[in-house]
Homo-oligomer: A and B are copies of this chain.
């Protein structure tokens, strides 16, 4: 890949958007590349956070495992997004694992390189602040949903969000563009795969979604929206 296209790619990301050319140059010259196969770990929970990653192509998920082995999915990461944000802070431990859902290409930087970039170029530091603020907002919304909503609404909100984030228009509706099992949805909503399965079956019957093995297609977003907002559906 040539330097020019690297710089253009970086310039479009949430971390380097609006940064001066020298910042992009420095970022380009200090980055390293990684390819990970589907179902492979990029980072393990508990590792020292020594690298910050930017996803170029593919899809990752951030998961946390409790002591008794339960998993929860914190979020999915799409192209252009930063992963391993813990490395932005000093002396951090990765709070969750980062797993490739599909074959993925990443670029990364050492914490030292990132701190240098943030120190030298305020625009990068401000982008980092912006990015963390956005993550915080997202997770706060999920906290609220988990605290106040019943399962069906939570599943509805989750699917709507995924469709927004990673939806692909098809003839049958908006298809979530990566494999997503009932178990995965359960781990995002704080419920069990059984409840997710029953809920999706009920929705399938009403034509709101079409789903298959690790596949979800949202057919009637408006209807799902009314379920999510509890306006009776």
A residues sitting closer than 8 Å to B (CB atoms) are 64, 66-68, 70, 72, 74, 85-86, 88-90, 92, 95-96, 115, 118-120, 122, 125-126, 128-130, 132-137, 139-144, 146-148, 187, 190, 229-230
Contact = CB atoms under 8 A, between A and B. Distances in A.
Contacts of A92: 133
A150 to B, nearest CB: 12
Given A88-B129, A142-B143, A148-B190, 11 more contacts: A64-B144, A74-B140, A74-B143, A89-B129, A89-B134, A92-B133, A119-B122, A120-B122, A122-B122, A132-B136, A143-B146
Q: How many copies does the complex hold?
A: 2
Contacts of A128: 125, 129
Contacts of A187: 147
Contact of A144 (B72, B125, B136, B137): B72
| Most B-side CB within 10 Å, residue of A66, A68, A96 | A66
Nearest to A123: B119
